[in-house]
Structure 1
Amino acid sequence: MAFVGFLFSHTISTHNMDAFSPFSLLSLLLLFSCLSLSAAHNITQIKSDEYILLALKSHITSDPHNILKNNWSSGTSFCTWIGVTCDSRRSRMTELDISAMGLEGSIPQEIGNLSSLAYLDMSGNSFHGRLPKDICMHNNLQRLKRLNLSRNKMEGDIPSSLYQCPQLESIRLSDNNFGGLVPAQIWNMTLLKELDLSSNNLRGRLPKDICSHNNLQRLKLLSLWANKLEGDIPLSLGQCTQLEMIYLLDNNFGGNVPREIGNITQLKELYLNENNLKGCLPKDICSHNNLQRLKLLSLGSNKLEGDIPLSLGQCTQLESVDLSWNNFGGNVPREIGNITQLKELDLRYNNLKVQ
């Protein structure tokens, strides 16, 4: 504001006022007004960031190491506070990382008003209560790319409004007490690369078209283990061809292992153990250049039967295979000997014969 006033007064004083036409003077006044409003707006936003951080601090009921108590003070610039990273040009907060500080408390409604925030990590604490339903509504958190609230004590439904944070690339809400269904809108997030909702109380089925219609085409991590999910594993999962890690273990999934999973050429880790999967494994599970990057395959503790596919020997990058606690029969395929990287092979508790 001081600079704007200087600019205006300096411009007027260094010119003959008679030389200004009414139009020129009006233009200068409009310019001054716009610059003043812009500066005032920026100051308001900066103050808003500080206010929201202090609101969060007021919701902290336990700060065992006195990190926020001693450091987050209005007497200093919030950009210097522990866990806060600012844009040096505009002094707006872009990152908030207060992970693993032993904090206990709740998340205030105001958190959604951090309009410049791109990275929010509050993991590894004891935050409890519900995540605000409108966390991404009303143009809130429009720049947020990474959200990590894992390893807390959060509960209630996962807000469907997360879909309205259009830049989100990573959602990590694992190891909490979230319940209900996975919001249908999450499966439509086109920029999402990581989705970790593991170790909660989520229920219901995965949508049949989970990866259809160009949904989740950038997804690399899908982690839903240790929930109460049920139904078939969708065939369309094979259309998420960028997936590298799939963790669906420890649920109630039934039906067959989809043949379409073989289309996920980037897949490195596949955990489907501890479910109710049945039927035979696809004979061509590793044929036609399928799963050539797969390193870990875990299908233990299901109800699978039939022969172990000979084509498994064509997944030559495998390091660990767990087929234990199933009903596989027939011979142990000689082709498994082709997997030169194999370190762990668990075939216990089946009906297999050794050739």
Structure 2
Amino acid sequence: MVAAIMGFLPSHLGFLRKSSCPSGICDSMVLKQRIRNRRVGIFCRQQMLPTNCLYHGQKDTGSLKVYVISDLHTDYAENMAWVRRLSTVWYRNDILIVAGDVAETYKNFVVTMSELKHRFGSVFYVPGNHDLWCRREGGNYINSLEKLRALLDVCAELGVETSPRNVNGLGIIPLFSWYHKSFDREKDVTGVRIPSLEMACKDFHACTWPPELSNSDVALAHHFDMMNEKNNSAIDEVHKTNFHIITFSHFLPRQDLCPEKRMLFYPNLPKIIGSDFLEARLRSIHSKNGNGSACHVFGHTHFCWDAVLDGIRLLWLILEKGKGG
């Protein structure tokens, strides 16, 4: 699980998280422990918050705060208990960004989002890959797109935002995305036996798609990116009324937000983590070279990251490790 807290400006961002494996890859296939939280020249760790800061201690009421959380995986009872321990009083005027992978089942998704909406003034959400798994839904959905529509519908019923919005002078823009294999441009590791994506990644079995959409090409990534088109007018309105804008997605916009393959326990991980469409979408919002207030938050890979690349601050910081993935 990840949670982040930031002040009104993106430069004040920090995180709190229980981590889990991306796309259902087991914990042993993420990164060798001794280099898990380090990559020289790119990685810069932000000051972290204690795990209990969200439900113990003294609440700072001096300014608007934005919390970011992802990869909750509340199908695990201890993760759901963590959510329920959050204060029902302290965060009524604050913003919560939920960057995907809330729960595998629709039932747990609804319970989790209801609990979060009860605690925070404004809640924003984009889907992660685990949210769209259908294997435990008892045939209630024809495919993962139908389940996605159900998740977005219940968000609307709960008052959870899935579209861009201005909140007290701060622009929040959710970005829908999915990964594609061609996102990976680094030379493949050879000379060792590496499990196939289909063996390592549960998405290939737990998600179901219409015949015209597939993980084998860019069709899925393009489909999810086009879901953002309907929000163009809302994005323009956010630009008109806000200097500070936070965008967020579940997947990665750039491959250099992941360690090199030689550092990964599963070297093919970059093929299932990001989207070139997302990077283009991000630049269209924050401009090609970004600006001093540009900030994008992502999830999915569970590697700590805090870097400014081409004028945009990109963040993903691990603070707490728990079950999930």
| TM-score tier (shorter) | under 0.3
Higher relative contact order (CA 8 A, sep 6+): 2
In proportion to residue count, which structure has more helix?
2
TM-score, normalised with respect to structure 1: 0.25
In proportion to residue count, which structure has more strand?
1
